[in-house]
Amino acid sequence: MTLDAVRGAAPPVPDHRRRRAMTPLMSACAVLVVAMVAAINLAVPKLTLSSLHPSSTGLLWIVDAYVLVFGCLLIPAGALGDRYGRKGALLAGLGLFAAGCLASAAAPNVPVLLAGRLLTGLAAALIMPATLSLLLQVTEPARRPHAIATWTAATGIAGAVGNVAGGAVLQWLPWQALFLSAVPVALALAALVAAVAPRGERHPAALDLPGAALLTGSLFALLFGIIEGPERGWSDAVVLAGFGGAAVLLAVFVAHGLRARHPLLDPRLFADRRLAAGVAGVAVAFFGLFALFFVNAQYLQYAKGFSPVVTGLAILPLVAGMFVVSRRSVALGARFGTRRVVVAGLLGLAAGLGLLSLTDAATPYPLYAACLVVLSVGMGLCVPSLSIAIMGALPPSRAGLGSGLNGAAREIGSALGVAVLGTVLTSRFAAGLPPAEARRAHAPGQVLAAAHGATAHRTAVTAFTHAATAGFAVVAAVVLVLSLLVAAGLGRPSANRAPE
């Protein structure tokens, strides 16, 4: 695949010091919003035992509310930045992010916490596409592929940053501190953006609010069915209505996109098989990664007995693989071909998840860490090349749409990964408990806290680890199957593009 579309964007701002500062600054903004996706998973044990008393499904919604709004609104938020100014969108997003975190920290119950998470997700959607668009604006054409790879590496590493920083905060402070600690970071980044970032270019862009509402509604309905299924029963009318509503709303969304004069996301874009494969590949990669993040913190604290800070540090092997390998992914793609690098990465991700499905409470941490390294190498190989495929398939004037597609795929994949693994965890955990405990449908942390005596505690830990490894096996199988479909898409030239 050529990178002409990436290299051919408008001339960068000629301030060399500003240009050098923009890469770390835009990457830091991206790290903040993605790190919050991972950090909340580390807080699950404390949230479980807090005065909020969330159920297993409530915990899944607390994790996924932010991610889903983030992912679904990335495309309209990218178009908003294209139309009215990317710097303004970024500053507004950072301000709303701080406000959403304050609301979450002050929440007296689960519904208020969910409202704060939804607001923070909206803010994240404003931040993410603006960071990449502004970065491309000030980067020399020849350096744009490297800038995309660096920014993409930052988004991958952000999950590990969220685990480490979140562990440090939660080691000694309550769960509310996780949200409060993000407030000064967001405000400091806003001050730097105001001082350093140039005024963003403006381009005509459609604000298809009906399309955004249809997409968001369809995905909320799908997640509702997945998350509520274990507790209500898969044949429950409400659960079936969720799946049916998702199918109907998605069909209406596609029909709207085909008929609208200026659709926010024209389904015909996906006639470009490489664009479609790039979007699907990013979603698959983050489906696997954030499924891991959801269960990792619970596994290390419940099964291994790690403290929050040690749990956060225990994820560091992911940093090494993603950071080192992702910086070489573009060069490897140029040498061996994008398709080979992407397929190798996705297969490595599936292999890492498959190896994790063989672990249990007695697995030594070094062996567990080796599984994380395999997974991280796979992520580092595939994600930068997939992101460049998305950005390179669109004209420079649609950079906001391109980064929005990239981010939406990432966050929607993450939300689905959390929902699928969480659903398997909930159902299999209940099946591994004595009937009396299973009927109570507690979250794992509540069951473990209520377990009196070594035998009861050991039974609960065993039930949890068996449920977690079953979840890893399911997610690994999904990644494996979908990676083959992505490979097929990358291997077939589009009707309107020349073969690679």
Q: What is the pLDDT of residue 436?
A: 59
pLDDT tens digits for 110-148? Answer: 999 999 999 999 999 999 888 888 887 777 777 777 777
Q: What is the CATH number of domain 4-207+264-491?
A: 1.20.1250.20
pLDDT tens digits for 454-480? Answer: 777 788 888 889 989 999 999 999 999
Residue 200 vs residue 229, higher pLDDT? 229
Percent of the chain whose pLDDT exceeds 70: 87
Q: What is the pLDDT of residue 204?
A: 63
For the chain, the structural domain boundaries read: 4-207+264-491, 208-263
Q: What is the mean pLDDT of residues 356-372?
A: 91
pLDDT tens digits for 278-337? Answer: 889 999 999 998 899 888 888 888 888 889 899 888 888 877 777 788 778 878 877 888
pLDDT tens digits for 201-218? Answer: 666 666 778 888 888 889
Lowest mean pLDDT among 39-48, 153-162, 420-429, 469-478: 153-162
Q: What is the pLDDT of residue 500?
A: 37
Q: What is the pLDDT of residue 141?
A: 73
Residue 452 vs residue 8, higher pLDDT? 452
Average pLDDT, the chain: 83
Q: What is the mean pLDDT of residues 258-265?
A: 80
Q: What is the mean pLDDT of residues 380-391?
A: 82
Report the distance separating Cα 447 and Cα 248, nearest Å. 38
The highest-confidence range among 31-40, 59-68, 116-125, 423-432, by mean pLDDT, is 116-125
With 80 as the cut, is the pLDDT of residue 362 above it?
yes
Residue 235 vs residue 190, higher pLDDT? 190
- Closest C-alpha among 61, 165, 39, 44 to residue 468: 44
pLDDT tens digits for 54-83? Answer: 888 888 889 888 988 888 888 788 778 877
Lowest mean pLDDT among 223-232, 255-264, 429-438, 482-491: 429-438
With 70 as the cut, is the pLDDT of residue 495 above it?
no
Give the distance between the most distant pair of CA atoms in the chain.
69
Per-residue H/E/C for the chain: CCCHHHHCCCCCCCCHHHHHHHHHHHHHHHHHHHHHHHHHHHCHHHHHCCCCCCCHHHHHHHHHHHHHHHHHHHHHHHHHHHHHCHHHHHHHHHHHHHHHHHHHHCCCCHHHHHHHHHHHHHHHHHHHHHHHHHHHHHCCHHHHHHHHHHHHHHHHHHHHHHHHHHHHHHHHCCCHHHHHHHHHHHHHHHHHHHHHCCCCCCCCCCCCHHHHHHHHHHHHHHHHHHHHHHHHCCCCHHHHHHHHHHHHHHHHHHHHHHHCCCCCCCHHHHHCHHHHHHHHHHHHHHHHHHHHHHHHHHHHHHHCCCCHHHHHHCCCHHHHHHHHHHHHHHHHHHHHCHHHHHHHHHHHHHHHHHHHCCCCCCCCHHHHHHHHHHHHHHHHHHHHHHHHHHHHCCCHHHHHHHHHHHHHHHHHHHHHHHHHHHHHHHHHHHHCCCHHHHHHCCCHHHHHHHCCCHHHHHHHHHHHHHHHHHHHHHHHHHHHHHHHHHHHHHHCCCCCCCCC
Percent of the chain whose pLDDT exceeds 90: 27
User: Which pLDDT band holds residue 15 (cuts at 50, 70, 90)?
Assistant: low
With 60 as the cut, is the pLDDT of residue 4 above it?
no
Q: What is the mean pLDDT of residues 351-364?
A: 92
Backbone φ, ψ for residue 257 (5° rounding): -65, -35
CA distances from 207 to 259, 263, 275, 396, 409 (A): 15, 8, 22, 18, 19
Provide the whole-model pTM: 0.81
Q: Are 153 and 322 in contact (CB under 8 A)?
A: yes
